[in-house]
Amino acid sequence: MEKILWIDDDVDFALNAFIDELEDDANYQVLRAQTPDKAWQMLEEKPITAIIMDVMMPTGEIIDSKTSQQGVYTGLRLLEKIKDDPKYAKIPALIFTSLSKDKEVKKWGKENNVRILLKLDIYPEELVEAIEELLEKKEVKT
């Protein structure tokens, strides 16, 4: 079973519908991390197929608050760190955020070829489709 790492500090009941759709209907195992440090630990411990993450979350040891303002774009800094590490660089990722209209987030997504989905404007089935498209692109590249 393919493992998706969901990185989001928000424990929201609405997000559970997305996770249920991924696990029950699409047959993925979803591993949740609420901090960048926990996400990094999970990357080191488990084979991850894809990453879904938020933009705003707390900093920690992996993303130092001296280099990233607390909570602001921490997810982008974490994804940069993941993509800079040869062990994890090829793991496909998408940003799932309420900040998809934010100019810096949009610019970052374009520059780094990362799809950005708006949390408030998507159905669980659409997230499954986005993950499957992401994984198909990965297979074509390898």
Lowest-confidence segment of 6-10, 84-88, 98-102 by average pLDDT: 98-102
Q: How far apart are CA 17 and CA 113, in angstroms?
A: 27
Q: What is the pLDDT of residue 135?
A: 84
Q: Could you read off the pLDDT of 95-139 as tens digits, one per residue?
A: 887 766 677 777 877 787 787 777 767 778 888 888 888 888 665
Domains of the chain as residue ranges with CATH? 3-141 (3.40.50.2300)
- Residue with structure tokens 């950005």? 116
Q: How far apart are CA 16 and CA 50, in angstroms?
A: 18
pTM of the model: 0.80
